[in-house]
Structure 1
Amino acid sequence: MSSKVFVAGVGMIPFKKPGTNEPYDVMGEQAIRLALADCGLDFKHLQQAYAGYVYGDSTCGQKALYRVGMSGIALVNVNNNCATGSSALFLARQAVQSGAVDCALAFGFEQMNPGALKSAWTDRAPATERALKLTNALVGMPELPTAIRQFAGAGHAHMQKYGTQLATFAKIRAKASRHAANNPLAVFRNVVCAEDVLAAPMLWEGVLTRLMACPPTCGAAAAIVVSEAFAKKHGLRTDVLIAGQALTTDLPSTYDANDMIRVVGFDMTRMAADIAYNQAGIGPKDVDVIELHDCFAQNELLTYEGLGLCAEGAGEQLVNDGDNTYGGRWVTNPSGGLLSKGHPLGATGLAQCYELTHQLRGSADQRQLRGARTALQHNLGLGGACVVTVYQRH
């Protein structure tokens, strides 16, 4: 990545439970206005825009953007499942880095319904049909929602292969709640301990409790990325550099290995992380703070291993050593993550960018990791897509 791209402005609104939110276009507008105000730009300076959302008709992005302004700029609507927000950011960064534009907006929003995720299309085969067939074969339990079968199924596979304890996943969930207690934008700010997590209703006996799954959430977030020349011309801040970024999709091993850990994106994660590390000229040990895709507590542990923070099978030791929180080797999900901050699909990746930008600026308030200089973002969508981004204080 030879041409430098900077995060000049970020915006995020409080995440909320379904039914307590503003309409999606209002949420999108609010996030965009906050990002513009954060970097001190007018709408007229935006040259391209990328709108991320999963549950909505085509051109919902225009409906949200038009509330801020109408200047005729190119806008692309993006849907990459739960990796949608960071996919929009990937495209905005790529447009600036290529020289196509000097200033691009990525924004994401989601207006979700309560309950388990479900497709809006029932008259055709799902895009994830291959993964569903493999999940049926490896996990069964058709009475459970698909996401639970897949991610808890991957956690169960890890437990069987490496002896990982359910209590370890409970520790991850408890850690998320402690972090979110300091985040005024998180949907859940109540602190729970590991015992509380284990005492919650079992969704899969011995494998998953209700508190180990992220909640359906409504919200929006946005980021504005610019070239170095544009930043200098307009007096914008250049303290947060996108030093590496990769978007990957499924590999043959996702399905051929007959392993639920692979089905939920382990190899996509490993590949994207390796590319992003190489672009930035760093390794996992150089990272200070991480926002990763903890849609389930189980997936956070799997992602430690996928990102190379530890060897495969060593995620439990990382948790027990306290190397995933303040005072340890890395601080993971200082925002509270998807488990406590919430997971509005189209906004999630941009909310991660928001948190890490503030961590590198030193403006994360009570969540601040002192001296943070390198940040790592991981956003995953089954079907599949994975985006890993390295940010550095410049």
Structure 2
Amino acid sequence: MSVYRVSRPASWGVSSGRAAAPETVDVQPEEEPVSDNVHVAGVGMIPFTKPGAGETYDVMGERAARAALDDAGIGYELVQQAYAGYVFGDSTSGQAAIYGLGQTAIPVVNVNNNCASGSSALWLARQAIASGTADCVLALGFEQMQRGALGGGKLPDRPPAMKRGIDATIGIQGWGDGPMAAQLFGGSGQAYMDKYGVGNDLFAKVAVKSRRHAANNPYAVFRAPITEEEVLASAHQHGPLTKLMCCPPTCGAAAAVLVSEDFARRNGLKADVRIKAQSMTTDVPGTFGSGDMMTIVGYDMAQSAARNVYEESGVDPSDIRVVELHDCFTSNEVTTYEALGLTPEGTAEKFVLDGDNTYGGRVVVNPSGGLMSKGHPLGATGLAQCTELVWQLRGQADARQVDGDPALALQHNLGLGGACVVTLYEKAGRK
């Protein structure tokens, strides 16, 4: 029987100077871990495209959902609830996409948690299954984006949702003319460089790796190889970041069908991947007074969520061989290696130089090409990560397949404002 807790062991970086998460009491459930009953019966996604080159959000969403249902081997009439994640869209856009599958009167819940919207939909779907409220739930994510960098709020007559983070950033580094997200994550990258004495060529190496992985992904937007020199020479964005260190605006959709073990058995489904553990975190009381740009852009949220997952599951990060993490900027991939415990704090440069983040190394990070190369349609990203990892655990990733028949896979999806979802998948029957 598992014990779920939110605590902060000393080994997880208390001495780093970042704000500590508040302590809470341990909760011991009356039954076995609820996540063990949540299986991923089907996944699906469509090829991602540049803005203006693809279909509208409702068509994309319907296609991805159909792909997931087909993969599960069931019809939409068996789905009991649906959660739809997106950022740029009118209210009830989820219904607009899902009604293409049918109008069966089931609850459809629209979810907006910035770039973590897709994983937030997945988190809600998992809770519905784990609680016994439903046996078969659809999680869908989609985004129809416009060209250009992300801006601020669209409603100028009210405070922006990210006002605390922006005000904290201004207090730390001021505010320039560059894109908002680049200023935030560029500041985080600069903070890491200053703290550990590395150069931005480290971020360039990660960009090259991402393209190399995406070359084998037919769903990715950018598949052509790039060199470190090209990355460093591309247009400057903010601080250490250049254009080829930044993810592109993208359109796309992805989906997953979650079921209970009993539902899978009754319907003859081969639900051979399950959610072993999952955690969603938000900002802690000290986030915006930390004076640390890494904390402002979610390092502590990610570290806390990862720690919760490892404690709930009993899995050590060294056991994991494949990871999809939120590399909206290559600087964020570098810092997230450490937040997830894939390598100790301050050792990301060695981790990259030793090739431990790619095929032949300790863990393959973003075999899909990640947000940097596959693309980042905001609401779809979390479910695209889920799809890739399920394919990896099933051995269905074709030329991207990670060697060694991985039995565990880790997902990290981040939204500023804030929300972070970390999910651990397990091949059913793993010893």
* Range into which the TM-score falls when normalised by the shorter chain: over 0.9
Match of 1:120 in 2: 154
Pairing 1:188–2:188 present: no
Pairing 1:132–2:159 present: no
Which letter does structure 2 place at the counterpart of 1:10? V
CA displacement 1:125-181 (0-9 Å, x = unmatched) = 101101001111212242111101100100001111111211110000000000000
Query: Aligned partners of 1:196 and 1:144: how far apart in 2?
Result: 21
Match of 1:320 in 2: 353
Pairing 1:77–2:86 present: no
Secondary structure, aligned partner of 1:258: coil
Which letter does structure 1 place at the counterpart of 2:154? A
Query: Aligned partners of 2:154 and 2:309: how far apart in 1?
Result: 34
Match of 2:424 in 1: 390
Pairing 1:18–2:45 present: no
TM-score, length-scaled by structure 1: 0.98
> Contact 1:197 / 1:211 at 8 angstroms: preserved in 2?
yes
Q: Which moved more, 1:14-23 or 1:196-205?
A: 196-205
Query: Aligned partners of 1:283 and 1:163: how far apart in 2?
Result: 28
Which letter does structure 2 place at the counterpart of 1:273? A
Which letter does structure 1 place at the counterpart of 2:176? P
Gaps of 5+ in 2: 1-32
> Contact 1:82 / 1:379 at 8 angstroms: preserved in 2?
yes
Secondary structure, aligned partner of 2:101: coil
Q: How many pairs align?
A: 393
Pairing 1:174–2:208 present: yes
1:295, distance to aligned residue in structure 2 (A): 0.1
Match of 1:202 in 2: 236
Secondary structure, aligned partner of 1:308: coil
Pairing 1:57–2:90 present: yes
1:314, distance to aligned residue in structure 2 (A): 1.3
Pairing 1:380–2:414 present: yes
Q: Which moved more, 1:1-10 or 1:168-177?
A: 1-10
Query: Aligned partners of 1:98 and 1:117: how far apart in 2?
Result: 37
Query: Aligned partners of 2:136 and 2:369: how far apart in 1?
Result: 30
Query: Aligned partners of 1:163 and 1:351: how far apart in 2?
Result: 34
Gaps of 5+ in 1: none
Which letter does structure 1 place at the counterpart of 2:72? C
Which letter does structure 2 place at the counterpart of 1:37? D
Q: Which moved more, 1:76-85 or 1:111-120?
A: 111-120
Pairing 1:357–2:387 present: no
Query: Aligned partners of 1:72 and 1:141: how far apart in 2?
Result: 48
Match of 1:278 in 2: 311
1:355, distance to aligned residue in structure 2 (A): 0.2
Match of 1:269 in 2: 302
Match of 1:105 in 2: 138
> What is the alpha-carbon root mean square deviation over aligned residues?
0.9
Secondary structure, aligned partner of 2:385: helix
Query: Aligned partners of 1:343 and 1:85: how far apart in 2?
Result: 11
Query: Aligned partners of 1:383 and 1:247: how far apart in 2?
Result: 13
1:123, distance to aligned residue in structure 2 (A): 1.7
CA displacement 1:39-74 (0-9 Å, x = unmatched) = 110010000000000001110000000011110001
Which letter does structure 2 place at the counterpart of 1:21? G
Query: Aligned partners of 1:222 and 1:204: how far apart in 2?
Result: 34
> Contact 2:179 / 2:237 at 8 angstroms: preserved in 1?
no
1:369, distance to aligned residue in structure 2 (A): 0.5
Pairing 1:6–2:31 present: no
TM-score, length-scaled by structure 2: 0.90
